[in-house]
Amino acid sequence: MEQKTLNAISRVAHKKGANNLLRRQGKIPAVVYGHIESTAVAIDEKEFATKFRTIAENMIIDLKIDGVSRDVLVKDYQEDLRLGKIMHIDFYAIDQDTLLRSRVPVRLTGSAKGARGGGIVELHYHEIEVECKPRDLPAQFLIDVTDLDTGDGIRVRDLPVPEGVRLLANPDQGVVSVTYAKAEVAPAAEAATAEAEAGAAAAAPGAPGAEKAAGGEKASGAEKTSGAGKTSGAGSGKKGG
């Protein structure tokens, strides 16, 4: 992958007040550790923001500390989301001949056949952990999903792995799949179905509602045969059931 450069100046590690002063001067406090002695540095905020719009763990940076080059990875960083500013960075100095572990992003390309038919493309892993020497570290895993139909998928073992790179994930683990879209039932249809089921349950033999309804009908019939003036009473019996 293309390697970017970044300038840094060494500094004496101070407490919080000194770091805040650096930030007001447009600098980002940072530390470099790993295959070198731990060193406190400061980098230019504008230079970092211009060159690194995104921060990836697998991006090897040529960090020039007082003019001396060191290959480093961004191991961790602190960000103030409210201000949208990087507050501190941890750089890990690497040795090109020593194995390292890092996470490589997964990217999809193409339009899946199954998606054109209404299926949904699901990416289960956005990053895959690998082990390799720094020179072999992939920039990304690019997966072409064009030929994937509904029900198809790609597992870890199907990924295109460069020579010298070992995947640290389960080979049978799914990375991307095309699934059937769930059919949506209209709210009105759901309400009608629920009402019909409730009515059927109430009319079932032995149900309390059914007994009341039967009693009301019998009472109504008896009142009708007994003579005039009982019509209103029959109506009330039906409501009571």
Is 6 within 8 Å of 44 (Cβ atoms)?
no
Rounded-to-integer distance, Cα 173 and Cα 157, Å: 8
% the chain with pLDDT above 70: 74
> Euclidean distance between the first and final Cα of the chain, in Å?
80
Global confidence as pTM: 0.65
Residue 55: what pLDDT?
Answer: 83
Q: What is the DSSP string of 183-222?
A: PPPPHHHHHHHHHHHHHHHHHSTT-HHHHHHHHHHHHHHH
Task: State the Cα angle at 36 between 35 and 42, rounded to 5°.
Answer: 120
Q: Which residues of the chain have pLDDT under 70?
A: 1-2, 14, 182-241
